[in-house]
Amino acid sequence: MSGRTLQSEYMYWAKNQRPVRYHLASSEVPHFAMSRWDIDPAANGARLPPLLLQPLVENAVKHGVERKPGPCKVTIASRLIESDQPLLEISVSDDGAGLSEGIGSGVGLANIRAQLALRFGDSASLSLQSGSAGGAVAALRIPFPA
């Protein structure tokens, strides 16, 4: 037994962003995709399970950006939501092709939902919806501080 626990497998939100920033800057992402980061600095100290953000960004590129001709934008945002149980909301939105039938039922989102349920129970959620100006928005909410 390695002695690792679920709690020891968490990463700071700021560190969770690094592989995604690299991926978006890599040659794997179409050159016509722009990224925008709107990060609440107060959220950088949150601890998250690894690999929650990357599948959301990969889905935005694969299902939104790559399927729409012309320039597209992927926006990654985080904000704190004050309530009885403060929440950290992390969203990935794109102005790409939008949602189509079957989108949202894949392995990546199922894995994220399973991680959230395992680690946070009913206190966390993942939603996927059409963006107000087209594209899609995936948003996860977890207790803060995590």
The predicted-structure confidence for 15-72, as pLDDT tens digits, reads as follows 888 888 887 777 566 666 688 889 999 888 888 888 888 899 988 888 888 888 888 8
Cβ–Cβ < 8 Å for 64, 72: yes
How confident is the model at residue 49, as a pLDDT?
Answer: 85
Q: Please give the domain boundaries of the chain with CATH numbers for all domains.
A: 7-143 (3.30.565.10)
- Residue 36 sits at φ, ψ, to 5 deg, of -135, 135
Return the amino acid letter for 46: A
Buried b (16+ CB within 10 A) or exposed e, 84-115: eeebbbbbbbbbbbbbeeebbeeeebeebeeb
Q: Which residues pair with 38 in a beta bridge?
A: 77
User: How confident is the model at residue 107, as a pLDDT?
Assistant: 86
Q: CB 1: neighbour CB atoms within 10 A? A: 3
Share of the chain above pLDDT 90, in %: 34
pLDDT, residue 104, reads 61
Question: Greater confidence, 130 or 101?
Answer: 130
For residue 5, what pLDDT is reported? 47
